[in-house]
């Protein structure tokens, strides 16, 4: 054996093996991560999509540079799921899963965009609050255990050394969210019998526009009157936040979010807040297909789904929504007389 090895060394001395250069590792290009959380009983079935689902469909035509995470809202299948529909029973799970999915995919050169409708809008706003408080886990630490730890830090509003150590050990040092775009944010349905339970379960969420968000845009329903669908607006102080635009559009909650319940005549009305939102996303660098506007015809005079269609009949308590034009709010030209 020793003679053979000596012979090999002798041959290699006079006849060295040619060096094989390793192919350089391709560096992954920066990506845009778009997270879309849809509203309760929403659908992405062709022809029945909400505005959030239409955004998802549009982005599927894009290059691998755009990574899309879309989840529909709670569906009504039986008694248990019916209760969850009323109170938003899966919202916390929805936020945790979206956080984990983003952490698994995100790298420091990437960009983040958040979109949501109805309770999904409340969820993405709360997701940004979680990222602001805890940070975003690095990919290698995005395990179920660490995601649960991050959730507890957010849920319990823990600060100080415990939070600082967690962020330093497991999270990206800097995170920015390019924009949040939401259609008519609501919490769980505003029924008095569940309000106390709902506050205990969801009261910790921070849905304010946090410092990690560069801009927030909300389309609001001017003609929605059901108290159960009271809007959750971004609050503005005496000094208006220039990052915030909240614009009122003609129609009710379903019209603005594109949740039409089969009343397709309202689609051209719903396309108005959809186009408005997509234009803002383009302004923040999100690349959309060429001539995308042509796929969404508009008509400011198109019929609304109305306040009594579908399950709207079940909500008798009504009050006109308050428009505050002094603070980050405006009425879209299509909704003006």
In this predicted model, what pLDDT tens digit does every residue of 114-148 receive, in sequence order?
999 999 999 999 999 999 999 999 999 999 999 99
Buried b (16+ CB within 10 A) or exposed e, 84-116: bbbbbbbbbebbbebbbbbbebbeeebbbbbbb
pLDDT at 12 over 80: no
Mean pLDDT (whole number) for 306-316: 71
What does pLDDT average to over the chain? Answer: 86
Average pLDDT score over residue span 247-275: 96
Q: How far apart are CA 61 and CA 76, in angstroms?
A: 30
Q: Identify which has the larger pLDDT, 43 or 21.
A: 43
Q: Is 49's pLDDT higher than 80?
A: yes
HEC sequence for 189-224: CCCHHHHHHHHHHHCCCCCCCCCCECCEEEEEECCC
Q: How far apart are CA 320 and CA 337, in angstroms?
A: 18
For residue 331, the surrounding DSSP H or E stretch is strand 329-331
The segment with the largest mean pLDDT, out of 3-12, 186-195, 296-305, is: 296-305
- The mean-pLDDT minimum among 156-165, 170-179, 181-190 falls in 181-190
The closest of 137, 132, 162 to 148, measured between CA atoms, is 137
Residue 226: helix, strand or coil by DSSP?
strand
Distances (CA, A) of 313 to 40, 226, 316: 17, 10, 7
Question: Is 207 within 8 Å of 142 (Cβ atoms)?
Answer: no
CA distance 281 to 261: 26
Bridge partner list, 312:
none
Q: How much is the pLDDT for 200? A: 57
Q: What is the dihedral of CA 159, 160, 165, 170, to 10 degrees?
A: 20
pLDDT at 78: 45
- What's the angle, vertex CA 175, arms to CA 158 and CA 92, rounded to 5? 50
**CA 28/CA 280 separation, integer angstroms:** 27
Residue that wins the pLDDT comparison between 211 and 188:
211
82 CA to centre of own chain: 24
Domains of the chain: 30-335 (3.40.50)
């Amino acid at each position: 054996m020793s003679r053979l090895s000596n012979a090999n060394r002798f041959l290699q001395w006079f006849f060295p093996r040619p060096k094989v250069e390793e192919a350089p590792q391709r560096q992954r290009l920066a990506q845009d991560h778009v997270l879309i959380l849809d509203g309760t009983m929403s659908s992405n079935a062709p022809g029945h999509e909400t505005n959030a689902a239409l955004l998802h469909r549009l982005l599927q035509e894009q290059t691998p540079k755009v990574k899309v995470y879309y989840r529909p809202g709670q569906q009504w299948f039986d008694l248990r799921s019916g209760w969850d529909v009323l109170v938003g029973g899966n919202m916390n799970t929805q936020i945790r899963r979206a956080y984990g999915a983003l952490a698994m995919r995100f790298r420091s050169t990437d960009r983040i965009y958040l979109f949501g409708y109805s309770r999904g809008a409340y969820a993405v706003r709360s997701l940004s609050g979680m990222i602001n408080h805890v940070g975003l886990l690095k990919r290698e630490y995005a395990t179920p255990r660490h995601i649960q730890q991050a959730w507890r830090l957010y849920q319990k509003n823990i600060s100080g050394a415990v939070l600082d150590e967690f962020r330093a050990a497991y999270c990206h040092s800097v995170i920015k969210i390019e924009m949040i775009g939401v259609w008519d944010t609501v919490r769980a349905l505003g029924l008095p019998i569940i309000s106390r339970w709902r506050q205990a379960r969801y009261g910790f969420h921070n849905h304010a526009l946090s410092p990690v968000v560069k801009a927030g845009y909300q389309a609001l329903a001017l003609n929605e009157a059901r108290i159960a669908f009271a809007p959750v607006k971004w609050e503005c102080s005496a000094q208006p936040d220039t990052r915030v635009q909240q614009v009122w559009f003609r129609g009710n909650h379903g019209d603005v979010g594109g949740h039409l319940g089969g009343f397709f005549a309202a689609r051209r009305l719903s396309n108005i807040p959809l186009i408005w939102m997509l234009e803002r996303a383009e302004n923040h660098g999100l690349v959309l297909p060429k001539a995308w506007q042509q796929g969404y015809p508009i008509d400011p005079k198109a019929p609304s789904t109305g306040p009594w269609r579908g399950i709207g009949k079940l909500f008798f308590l009504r009050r006109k929504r308050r428009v505050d034009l002094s603070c980050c709010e405006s009425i879209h030209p299509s909704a003006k007389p």
